Amino acid sequence: MKKQPTQVGVVGAGPAGLLLSHLLRRAGIESIIVENCTREYVEGRIRAGVLEQGTVDTINEAGLGSRMQVEGLIHRGIEIRFNGNGHRIDFPSLTGGKCITVYGQHEVVKDLIKARLDHGGEIIFDVRDVSVHGLESEHPAIQYKSNGEECEISCDFIAGCDGFHGICRPSIPKGVLTAYERTYPFGWLGILAEVAPSSDELIYAHHDRGFALLSMRSPEISRLYLQCEPDEDLSKWPDDRIWEELQARLRDHSGWRLKEGPVLQKSVTGMRSFVVEPMQFGRMFLAGDSAHIVPPTGAKGMNLAVSDVKVLTAALSAFYRDGSEELLQSYSSTCLRRIWKAQRFSAWMTLLLHKIPGQCPFDDRRQLAELDYVTSSKAAATTLAENYVGL
């Protein structure tokens, strides 16, 4: 078996694992990343691209934001539509100047991979049979196969950044973790379209026919979503039907019309809230989607991963700098304070904006009243804005 010693072994080359490896390097801490997919697949996975102000600041401070600064789209607000009227939430005036940046997660991943390899970092793609061992020992290990060869990374700590379906969380003994989960009775039908966005900012629309969202990936590519059944059959949604439904749900009284274009990609995403506690066991620490999932309405997924990684980097730095384990021991509690606030916001946005199946007429009217309050009260709009740009 090929032996590879390092200080921190990282499972998963998504945003969490890649950014962690970068931040550790800047702190003088060695790491090796293993990833079970190919580099091409990892760089091609299309994910949400709304970056909080703090996420943008972290990427820039790490020296990784040069392309993002050129290609990222700075947004200073969002629009909420209901009853055929649009209402803008202005972020800078409500949050002391904070904004968001639209820059695809796959673009962030490309930047992180390139920079990590340029700095001589080791990312081992396309591995098989990944497993973790000795989590309660001083030297846990990651075992895997690469090109048919059995390999082992011996390390001081393991970072489980391998997503919701990864191997790290299930490797923790039964009875240690408590999972909190909520599944929503609807999903999102999402498309990528080769057409310039019809708005300079995101539009969230509440409609009797269901929720719709206008987003974008670039000045040339639009990203749009429709509320649908969680197991929706895409074969029943030809392009013409999708555009017709988007037009209906996003229409307002001003005569504004959605631009249409060729559909490049379509998919259905289920809606789930999930948190596991604690986010650590022995010398393994979970970060990102391996520990928590949020519905995409609040645009928090990658931002929470970045927050986890910042906390973990500070804890590992303190350990290697002066031998202190205090921040490592409090890693879960520190992360979970922010995670649960993001879960609250994401669930609130989801239930505020979607058509809830089986909801009684009273709650339909109450939902509209809440939308009216959020968009007409400075105090309520401030709560939305400060959560959206990042706590």
Q: Which residues are designated catalytic?
A: 75, 204, 296, 300, 388
In this structure, the dihedral spanned by the alpha carbons of residues 82, 86, 89 and 90, taken in order and rounded to 10 degrees, is: 180
CB 279 within 8 A of CB 287: yes
The answer to whether 285 and 312 are in contact (CB under 8 A) is yes
What six digits make up the tokens of 101?
Answer: 């940046």
Integer angstrom CA distances of residue 166 from 82, 120, 133, 231 = 39, 26, 15, 23
User: Could you tell me the two tokens for 206?
Assistant: 């509440």
**Tokens (6 digits) for 292:** 């928590």
Cβ–Cβ < 8 Å for 207, 198: no
Residue 377 CA to residue 320 CA, distance in Å, equals: 49
Instruction: Give CA–CA dist 339/322, Å, rounded.
Output: 28
- On whether the CB atoms of residues 113 and 18 are closer than 8 A, the answer is yes
Of 297, 261, 295, nearest to 184 (Cα)? 295
Residue 235 near residue 213, CB atoms below 8 Å: no
d(CA 171, CA 223): 36
Q: What is the DSSP letter of 294?
A: -
Query: For tokens 């390899």, what's the residue?
Result: 117
Contact 360, 354 (CB under 8 A): no
Comparing CA positions, the residue from 273, 261, 388, 251 lying closest to residue 340 is 273
262/245 Cα distance (integer angstroms):
16
